Amino acid sequence: MTYYINCEINKSFDDAIALVKKALAEEGFGILTEIDVKATLKKKLDVDFRKYAILGACNPPFAYKALLAEDKIGTMLPCNVIVQEKPDGKVEVAAIDPLASMQAVQNALLQPIGEEIREKLRIVIRNVKESA
């Protein structure tokens, strides 16, 4: 099982970030965290790295359902979405497949929640690709 859903687009890194945020919002996700990996690695390790961002996306109604079903599921929240510049100049957008990340949790109540979130994230990735 692949643990992510992804696409590559011909947009600038900054334009890709904007497209991803818009597509996430359209599916009910907010951004809880935004990590600039390139800047963080430069600051902490003094190394150069490609443009790479991690967006911590949360869909509150689904997060609430998941937390009611499994009190420690918060260890797997929020849903991370990455945007990274590739060597060929394209930008890759990838989102976690929530079913892959939850497969170790033995709780049948999470299955339908994970399936719905997976579908929403697939729509996000498809919309980013179609908007590019």
- Tell me the pLDDT tens digit for each residue of 11-50: 999 999 999 999 999 999 999 999 999 999 999 999 999 9
User: pTM of this prediction?
Assistant: 0.95
Task: Give the span between the Cα atoms of 91 and 22, in whole angstroms.
Answer: 16
The pLDDT tens digits for 77-129 are: 999 999 999 999 999 999 999 999 888 899 999 999 999 999 999 999 999 99
Structure tokens at 85: 């510049």
Residue 58 CA: distances (Å) to CA of 7, 62, 122? 20, 8, 15
Fold annotation for 4-131? TATA-Binding Protein (3.30.310)
Task: Give the span between the Cα atoms of 7 and 83, in whole angstroms.
Answer: 10
Task: Give the span between the Cα atoms of 54 and 1, in whole angstroms.
Answer: 22
- Domain boundaries of the chain, sorted by first residue: 4-131
